[in-house]
Structure 1
């Protein structure tokens, strides 16, 4: 009787409610390592739905000339996601989780920055003048930690934990390279500066991260930023060669 009642209750749910428990794809067809793990972990399935929704929003709002770049970035990210597979399952799944969280943040920021991303339905009906060329966005203050007098929790950990100084320097270098590479593309540069601003804030927030080891949180945040910048540069290089 209990089983029958439960089945009846499930069947009474609307289809969207049932669909929201899994990822954005059909787990019965999952073959790749990353897809199988997304199906196996509820939080990864939720992240996958979040990424899929943000990707649709970005793609729908993007100008036609930007869509090839966005598609290339998405393909590069899918390759990066799959590359998390490794001999130690726990570390591989942790990499998968970090990669998906970073992509969700990036896409949602891009969706908000896109035309119509933050506007209401009523305001969209009001005619607007053709926007002027996007100005160069202000740069986020980002420099390597000064270990002679480290300021802030993150800088102190960067200066005292093995390997952190090298990672910090790598992030700063990648940011400088990305700024130079996209100097003539204000829209892309604005996305990068927004990501860097979030990065600086998130580093300090790791000191108060709930349920996580603060130093691990800091390292993951720094690795995520370095990976995101490298992906941007790699996609730009591939697009240039392809063109």
Structure 2
């Protein structure tokens, strides 16, 4: 009996150690400069964080998602500045030896497509919702090259990423990205980090925001990681928090 409890204890200790190691590994910062931070979240997914100077909010940290699978990469949301986009592209190509297959802005704000021209100059195709393309044209910024209606799938390596518009919230055009292999959901600015305030509502549909995130939660029930547009990533509790924050 004593040996039995000892064995159980060893197994539990092993499981706790593996779980903690997984959590620690998932938060590893693999690159850091004054303008760009890269954190490895899973085997194939990274969070790229850059910084945007704003009049209302000061210096804001902005997240994007990077998926690298079998030496192919897809970037969700660009840095706002061209020089930082070059820094990100250099890291992907030189350090990961990956070819960037696509860049996907999740809505029309500068923290999503501000440096698209750098990707275009490198002959990296850009894909966005037709709503995003329309709004980008209206504000006179650089325009994504290829448009889709509400859904778009793209193969990266041996797996696929999904882009989808499920309703308005932060903007009229906000989409989410999902990498099914690692069960990572990129919510972008549609999703808030825990304890965040409502933030920039200039182009928001506050009345629909909760409904939209609730639709995301219902469709992507198997998501293990959720990346917001600003702040720390987490699990689906970020979706619950955002729903509650904007619920009327």
TM-score (structure 1 length as normaliser): 0.27
Query: Comparing both structures, which one devotes a greater share of its residues to strand?
Result: 2
Query: Comparing both structures, which one devotes a greater share of its residues to helix?
Result: 1
TM-score (structure 2 length as normaliser): 0.27
**With CA pairs under 8 Å and 6+ residues apart, which has the higher RCO, 1 or 2?**
1
